[in-house]
Structure 1
Amino acid sequence: MIHRFFRFAVLFAGFLLTSFVAALPSQALEGAWQDLPNARARLLAIGDPMSGRLLAGLEIELDKNWKTYWRSPGDSGIPPTFDWSGASNIAQTRAQFPAPVRFTDEYGESVGYKKHVVFPIEIDLQRPGVPTNLELNVILGICREVCIPVSERFSLKIPPVFVATNSAKEILNSATASVPIVASVTERPQVSIVERAGTTALLTIRVPADLQIQDVFVEGPQTWFLGLPQKLQSSGGTNGSEWALALDGVPLGESPWGAAMRLTMVGPDQSFEQDFTLSKP
């Protein structure tokens, strides 16, 4: 009798545990869609709070022909900014940016995304295994012909234990795969500077053919206003591609030499990043 009771108690406890796990608010890890001007957006999250780390994502769906921007938006546009000051139990965040697309119109060239984008955000927790409140204030530029600056707040409560939904995992894993990776030593392009009499220096970038690169972007210090590299007509084929960028946009009186730069190379299947320093020729 006692044995049967013990066996029933174990089975009942297992039933309660299973029911508890099933009842965990996994749907809460896909935040509700919030309407924005000509777009909608939400927060997602996956991970194990007991490990002290989470992967969140800001997912944005844009109306037809509308776009939002990369961290370096080009001639026009508003780069996204992420403010986590209202969140709790967060020690550090690192926003990542999927490989962008170049847009050309009558207003110039800009860099960003159309239709759909997810910004993955790595999060380190202050205290593993306690409830976390993800509260994100974001500023976006959402544009067609005219840019609309959008400020919106998103919230997502993370319990100490949860079961992430499969759709959240698929969305965030796909977004992470679209982020450029660091180019290996053998994959790195050749970057050189050519001084030109009476005008600004010219930055040239020679990308190996093996990388199958479709576009190239260069970023400098935040106070610089660089244009976008242009592909040289003579480049391509088995010799790779060659790009050129005039170093306009450097603040007056400031030397470009020694500046920390970042090169992003976008390909159809994989994109790459490389940090480099501008060395005086």
Structure 2
Amino acid sequence: MVPLAPAAAGADEPVTAELRPGWRLPNGDHMAALHLRLAPGWKTYWRAPGEAGIPPVFDWSGSDNVARVTALWPTPHVFRQSGARSVGYKGELVLPLRISGSGGPVTLEANMMIGVCSDICVPQTLHLEAMLPDTVTVDPMIAAALAEAPFTAREARVSAVRCSVSPAKGGITLRTEIDMPAIGGAEETVVEAGQPELWASEPKTSRVGGTLVSETRLMHMEGKPFALDRSKLRFTVLGGDAAVDIQGCG
């Protein structure tokens, strides 16, 4: 692993990183961002990286006066290499961070592990720190990244989400039917179980008129039996023109 500091790394590094300190929101929360610049030919991963990706891990425990940090992921891209799918970003990633404080000046300290890949994958350990300013001046780069977030189910006119399960070797098959207008291009789905002990395979996605159909296999990471909490399921539909974030199913 290659440690990186907030300052720009050398020209041979696949990624450089900084914290953009952002601005204070009207309710007292703060909007900042993690800014990654990737060398040509390199990519990094979304919160659900796919079978070929490395999931990012964040640790904010070294921060001062921080109660909660929420990452607001921009719409990712789908990559395919050697028949495997991964989901993430190339070029650069501005990841907005909404920070709830616990009173007093806020210092944000980020310790994280991310994967960056080209022909090979290289885990990177990043340590970044910044004192957040008491300003209301909006950072346009962060604002642009916020505008790239997936649509909500309501914004995308999702009218119903139905799930059914059936036994499968080592787990269950989850079939999801989403009633929603097409969002353009070849639509793909990403399924997140919302239960860290469960693994979801790459879904098979098809469309029948106004219904998007997704089928995936869910398994326990240790091969144990499990109960599926449908309210924790999260579906992201990725299309050529947009993306949609859908929580839970009936």
Shorter chain as normaliser: what TM range?
Answer: 0.7 to 0.9
| Secondary structure of the structure 1 residue equivalent to 2:233 | strand
Question: Which is further off, 42-51 or 57-66?
Answer: 42-51
Residue 120 of structure 1: CA displacement? 0.9
Correspondent of 2:188 among 187, 192, 215:
215
Closer/same/farther in 2, CA of residues 210 and 137 from structure 1, 3 Å limit: same
Question: Unpaired runs of 5+ in structure 1?
Answer: 1-30
Closer/same/farther in 2, CA of residues 188 and 137 from structure 1, 3 Å limit: farther
Deviations 1:21-56 (A, max 9, x none): xxxxxxxxxx96432831112111222378521101
Contact 2:188–2:238, Cα closer than 8 Å, also in 1: yes
Q: Which amino acid aligns with 2:163?
A: S
Aligned equivalent of 2:163: 192
Contact 1:229–1:243, Cα closer than 8 Å, also in 2: no
Residue 154 of structure 1: CA displacement? 0.9
Where in structure 1 do 4 or more consecutive aligned residues deviate above 4 Å?
196-200
Deviations 1:60-112 (A, max 9, x none): 11112211111111113221222122221212211121222221111622111
Q: Which amino acid aligns with 1:208?
A: M
Q: Which amino acid aligns with 1:57?
A: A
* Cα distance in 2 between the residues matched to 1:192 and 1:77: 26
Question: Which is further off, 245-254 or 55-64?
Answer: 245-254
Question: Unpaired runs of 5+ in structure 2?
Answer: none
Contact 2:65–2:101, Cα closer than 8 Å, also in 1: yes
Aligned equivalent of 2:28: 52
Q: Which amino acid aligns with 1:262?
A: R
Aligned equivalent of 1:264: 236
Aligned equivalent of 1:91: 67
* Cα distance in 1 between the residues matched to 2:236 and 2:25: 32
Closer/same/farther in 2, CA of residues 125 and 50 from structure 1, 3 Å limit: farther
Aligned equivalent of 1:152: 126
Closer/same/farther in 2, CA of residues 188 and 272 from structure 1, 3 Å limit: farther
Contact 2:48–2:55, Cα closer than 8 Å, also in 1: yes
Listed as ranges, the matches of 1:168-187 within 5 Å are 169-184=139-154, 186-187=157-158
| Secondary structure of the structure 1 residue equivalent to 2:146 | helix
TM-score (norm 2): 0.81
* Cα distance in 2 between the residues matched to 1:63 and 1:192: 41
TM-score (norm 1): 0.73
Size of the aligned set, in residue pairs, is 238
Which structure has greater strand proportion? 2
Deviations 1:167-219 (A, max 9, x none): xx211111111222421294245433264788953514345235447322111
Q: Give RMSD over aligned pairs.
A: 3.0
| Secondary structure of the structure 2 residue equivalent to 1:174 | helix
Contact 1:219–1:261, Cα closer than 8 Å, also in 2: yes
Aligned equivalent of 1:132: 106
Larger Rg: 1
Q: Are 1:226 and 2:196 matched, yes or no?
A: no
Correspondent of 1:72 among 32, 48, 66:
48
Aligned equivalent of 1:4: none
* Cα distance in 1 between the residues matched to 2:81 and 2:152: 31
Deviations 1:95-140 (A, max 9, x none): 121222221111622111111211111011222xx43222211211
Contact 1:60–1:117, Cα closer than 8 Å, also in 2: yes
Which structure has greater helix proportion? 1
Contact 2:168–2:217, Cα closer than 8 Å, also in 1: no
